[in-house]
Amino acid sequence: MKYTDRQVHVPLCSVSTTSSLVNKTGTWKSAQPLFIDRVSPCNQQCPAGEDITGYMYLVGQGRYEEAWRLIMEENPFPAIMGRVCFHTCEERCNRTEHDDAVSIHMVERFIGDYGLANSLRITVPGPERKERVAIVGAGPAGLTAAYHLRKMGNGVSIFDSNQKPGGMMRYGIPSYRLPKEVLDGEISRLDEMGVEFKIAVKVGKDVTWDSLDNEFEAVFMGIGAWEETSLGIEGLNKKGIYNALEFLEDINLGKEPKIGKRIAVIGGGNSAIDCARVSRRLGAEATIVYRRSEAEMPAHTEEIEMAREEGVRFLFLASPKAIYGEETVAGVKLEKMALGEMDDSGRRRPVPTGETFDIDCDGMITAIGEATRVGDLPPFTSHRGGVVEADRMGQTTHLRFFAGGDIIDIPHTVTHAIGSGKRAAVAIDRFLRGIENDKDSPDQFTWGESGTINLAWLKGTSLFCRRNPSLEVVDYTDMNPFYFDCLPGVKTKRIPVDERLKGFQEVSEPFSEEEVISEARRCFNCGSCTECGNCCIFCPENSIKRDPDGYGYVADMDFCKGCGICVNECPRGAMTMKLME
Amino acid sequence: MYSLNQRFNNQDIPEDEFMASGNSACAGCAASLSMGLALKGLGKPTVLVIPACCFTIIPGAWPLTALDVPVFQAAFETTGSTLSGIKAAYRKRGMDDVCVVGWAGDGGTFDIGIQALSATAERNDDVVYVCYDNEAYMNTGIQRSGGTPMGAWTTTTPVKDPKSEPKKDIDEIMIAHRIPYLATATAAYPHDMIAKFKKARSIKGTRFIHLLSACPTGWRVPENLSIEVMRLAVLSNIFPLFEVENAEIFRQTVIPDEVIPVERYLRLQGRFRHLTDEAVKEYQKMVDDRFERLRKRFEITE
């Protein structure tokens, strides 16, 4: 006899013989669970619109090539970005409220390097369409616009007045932050994609803007900000005085600028830090002179920290008044400043006190900000003081002209430039295809206030499964932190200071594969399903099952009573309750 | 399945399903979830004995059943003796591999069924007795039971006169019977719970498993928080998860990273809403004292 045998013909007592599956308890509910894909805070604030949670998921499983391809959907330069981006994503990481932020940039750098080491390539069909787009300026914005337009099937020609493409990435960033072979490796991929490079051609001089306007269906301007703001004091023509852009350009071209042994660097931004750190590498003493205090410095804290490690001195609340010396610099007269009211940037304004003092130096670098050379802009674009007027997507008042990078009103960083190049590429593609921006606007796919577009969401073709995408942002309170152990993050290692000062060797060391995997696995993957199985295990109705057609789970609405346990127990906020009508 | 950054690897949960959808438990009921998990741990062949309790109706009214194992409906006070009888019958028929499991509520265990349970344990009959403890007579409308904690509101201990006696310590009663295996478990820790049911199945003699089982209706908590509230009970040491072998080896199986104040557990529930801060402090002391008594007996592992 079998113990399961319920076929009792003459039961001694009442015996249940029917499965409860006939009892459709799903009719009881007033709210139903929904699997959604929310935007994580890191993704939301990424100016380049990368799907960070997506590639962390793939890296955690060792799927490096897929991770690389996922980044390449949005950003053509992961190896560059992993090095030079100031990773504001890590400041927004939900993990900071748990233990330490995930070291996103180091994972990205590893993936970028993996792509370079394995010569991964993006294949694109030949130009499908006869329309051609001109890109002026081969900096991060222009190259990104070219990359995306080429992937969208447009023919692209890129003009640049310098001898090599890269813009500020090549001529502005010292190689201890971004080695040149990484830059060359990432840019060479564009060459192979069929982007036509017209190098050492200055638009406005060798080619006229009008001829571009006539020859091309659309033009993207990403000419950057190459004019150093003048300090506005006398004696700036003395020997030993450089401006930051000239100085860094000379360094990046391998020239040895003739500076002294004691350098005063004027300014508080990242260029000032770069100049001071380069000066240290040239064997000079460097002092950064900034008119506000450290808290107001626009330079990134990590950069300031590394400059300090390398022996850069800081002099705050001081502003240059006069330069001593006959032909060469022999000192600077500084005025003491005090902090006053808040200004428009939300920082306290420096107020002169009238009190002066002198510092001794035999070289000076001014790094107080860069602006666009107004003369380089086409005559028909409207701009205000070198900032080109453009809409959210980069379209200027001259409709076939689009702008991006440092010439529009965005922060002057590589990452923002990449984001603006991508936005403009989307806008140009839509412009060429005659899609009006009002209808079906890409706004609905933008993340955050910066208007970042994630193309995979826009097209619905992410390599990482994204079902039911929503623009809601997940914060720590939407997660169930119980399911995550507290694990300290892997710290970035830097080479010793004496090694650094010997030359232009890269300062931060790469993570090992184990470290990268452990960091990627620390990622909460906020807002996206990783098939952890909690919803399924905790469902008292047994109504959540694996999706037979693919990724994730489905809830059987015939039996779901709408208790919402699955939503509460989802570790990463990838579910929500929806009230039923 | 990817859960490498998670505390638990859910791949370890068996995929077998012995409880079908369509049960008639309230939304968010932890008892129906517990049954599904328990059966994952026990596997087949298993026979259930269920006295009068919520689980009389949860699998469905006649002729429905959600359970994929035979169920015997027993009278309220007879779970223990029915278990003994059914086990004896199976043994007589040469089917000693059938695991006979009693599944009773706190009323049917702490109060009404304690005599029969005690007798079964005294005879050390080869059965598993599971008490899913939702801390009141929930099926009949939230009346106070011996399992109701001190200070809790029920329909028979109203807010102006809440229960003044502490919860009966059924674990100590069963330990005093020197049974081969006793464990506490909760569905908020499914891995721990399944492991205990697996272990229970492998042992001979009377095994007792005490499950904390949240009742959103009777505890006055939102349905979606029933796992959360059970988790807080464990994290605050109100319901520590441990096992006891032969009344000798005591082992705490889930050690909270950080013990949380009982206040977080109490304040989540409407049935404790009337408690003053003073009463919460007393409650904390009571929980600490009880845990301290237990802790002294826990074997030091690691």
Q: Would you state the structure tokens that stand for residue B90, as one six-digit string?
A: 């199976």
Say if A444 is an interface residue toward chain B (CB within 8 Å): no
pLDDT at A1 (0 to 100): 47
Q: How is residue B66 written in tokens? A: 């959600």
Which candidate from A20, A482, A565 shows the least CB-CB separation from B224? A565
* Tens digit of each residue's pLDDT (9 = 90 or more) over A493-518: 999 999 999 889 999 999 999 999 99
Question: Which of residues A11 and A123 earns the better pLDDT score?
Answer: A123
d(CA B275, CA A36): 39
Give B298 to chain A, closest Cα distance, Å. 24
Backbone region of residue A121 per phi and psi (left: phi > 0; alpha: psi in -120 to 50; beta: other values): beta
Residues A97 and A144 in one domain: no
A226/A346 Cα distance (integer angstroms): 26
Q: Measured between CB atoms, does B2 come within 8 Å of chain A?
A: yes
Q: Where does the pLDDT of residue A182 fall: very low under 50, low under 70, confident under 90, or very high at 90 and above?
A: very high
Going by pLDDT thresholds of 50, 70 and 90, the confidence category of residue A374 is confident
User: Residue A383 and residue B271: Cα distance in Å, rounded?
Assistant: 67
> Token pair of B241, please?
């998860």
- Is there a contact between A483 and B8 if contact means CB atoms under 8 Å apart? yes
**Residue B40, CA distances (Å) to A422, B51, B197 in order:** 51, 21, 8
The domain that holds A159 is classified in CATH as: 3.50.50.60
Asked if residue A44 is part of any domain, the answer here is no
Parent domain of A59: 52-120+476-522
Over residues B154-163, mean pLDDT: 94
- How many Å apart are CA B67 and CA B38, to the nearest integer? 12
A144: its two tokens = 């990104």
Q: How many helices (H) and strands (E) does chain A have?
A: 19, 26
Please spell the DSSP secondary structure of A469-522, one letter per residue: EEEEEP-GGGS-GGGS---PPPPPPB--HHHHHTS---SBPPPPHHHHHHHHHH
Residue B126 confidence (pLDDT)? 96
Mean pLDDT of B4-14: 75
Say if CB A332 and CB A324 are below 8 A apart. yes
d(CA A560, nearest CA chain B) in Å: 9
Give, in order, the Cα–Cα distances in Å from A526 to each of A95, A447, A448: 10, 15, 16
Region B17-295: CATH code: 3.40.50.970
| Residue pLDDT, tens place only, A237-285 | 888 889 899 999 999 998 888 888 999 999 999 999 999 999 999 999 9
**Residue A443's pLDDT band (boundaries 50, 70, 90)?**
low
* pLDDT confidence of residue A462: 64
Q: How far apart are alpha carbons B77 and B105 in whole angstroms?
A: 11
On average, the pLDDT of chain A sits at 89
The residue among B247, B182, B98, B33 whose CA lies nearest residue A541 is B33
- Report the complex ipTM: 0.94
Q: Six-digit token pair at A113?
A: 């390097």
* pLDDT higher than threshold 90 for residue A164: yes
Residue B216 forms beta bridges with which residues? none
| Residue A446 to chain B, least CA–CA distance (Å) | 28
pLDDT for position B2: 39
**pLDDT at B75 (0 to 100):** 95
Per-residue pLDDT at B300:
59
Q: Is residue A20 domain-resident?
A: no
Contact check, Cβ <8 Å, B223/A565: yes
The pLDDT of residue A358: 92
For the stretch A305-324, pLDDT in tens is 999 999 999 999 999 999 99
A291 has pLDDT over 80: yes
Q: Which two tokens stand for residue A472?
A: 């809601």
Of the candidates A263, A320, A275, the one whose C-alpha atom is nearest the C-alpha of residue A299 is A275
Distance from A57 to chain B by nearest Cα, in Å?
A: 9
Please report residues of A whose CB lies closer than 8 A to that of B187: 538
Closest CA to A49 of A522, A371, A425: A425
Q: Name residues 73-102 of chain B within 8 A of A (Cβ).
A: 93, 95, 98
Instruction: Tell me the pLDDT tens digit for each residue of A405-438.
Output: 999 998 899 999 999 999 999 889 988 888 775 5
Instruction: Determine whether the interchain pair A563/B33 forms a contact, defined as Cβ–Cβ distance below 8 Å.
Output: no
DSSP A395: B
Amino acid at A414: V
* Banded model confidence at residue B133, pLDDT cuts 50, 70, 90: very high
**DSSP letter string, B68-104:** SS-EEE--GGGHHHHHHHHHHHHHHTT-TTPEEEEEE
Q: Both A254 and A326 in a single domain?
A: yes
Handedness of CA A415, A419, A425, A431 (dihedral sign): negative
Number of domains in chain A: 3
Cα-to-chain-centroid distance, residue A524:
19
Phi, psi torsion values for A208, nearest 5 degrees? -90, 155
Quote the CA–CA distance of B109 and B50 in Å, as a whole number.
Answer: 11
Residue A262 lies in a domain: yes
In this structure, are A115 and A199 located in the same domain?
Answer: no
Q: Whose structure tokens read 């694996």?
A: A546
Structural domain boundaries in chain B: 17-295
Calpha distance A154→A422 (Å, rounded): 14
Strand ranges for A380-459 from DSSP E: 383-384, 387-388, 401-403, 446-447, 452-453
The mean-pLDDT minimum among A449-453, B187-191, B282-286 falls in A449-453
Average the pLDDT over each of A224-233, B229-238, B251-260 and give the range with the smallest value: A224-233
Q: Does A573 reside within a domain?
A: no
Is A293 inside any structural domain? yes
Same domain? For A77 and A146 the reply is no
User: Is the per-residue pLDDT at A446 higher than 70?
Assistant: no
For residue B3, what pLDDT is reported? Answer: 41
pLDDT at position B188 over 50: yes
Give me B142's structure tokens.
Answer: 């939230």
* Residue A56 in domain: yes
Residue A211 lies in a domain: yes
Residue B237 has pLDDT above 80, yes or no: yes
Name beta bridge partners: A546: A553
Distance in angstroms (rounded) separating the CA atoms of residues B176 and A560: 42
Contact indicator for B120, B80 with CB cutoff of 8 Å: yes
Of residues B10, B32, B70, nearest to A534 (C-beta): B10
Q: Does A553 touch chain B (CB under 8 A)?
A: no
Question: Residue A8 pLDDT more than 60?
Answer: no
Please indicate whether, in this complex, the C-beta atoms of B32 and A541 are within 8 angstroms of each other: yes
User: Are A252 and A376 members of one domain?
Assistant: no
Query: Who's near B167: CB < 8 A, 6+ residues apart?
Result: B135, B146, B147, B148, B149, B150
Distance between B299 CA and the closest CA of chain A, angstroms: 25
Tokens 């350009």 locate to A249
Q: Which two tokens stand for residue B139?
A: 């099926």
In the stretch 31-70 of chain B, residues with CB closer than 8 A to chain A read: 32-33, 36, 44-45, 47, 59-60, 62-66, 69-70
Cα A123 to Cα A160: distance, rounded to the nearest angstrom: 24
Looking at this protein, which amino acid is placed at residue A142? G
Residue A237 forms contact with B (CB below 8 Å): no
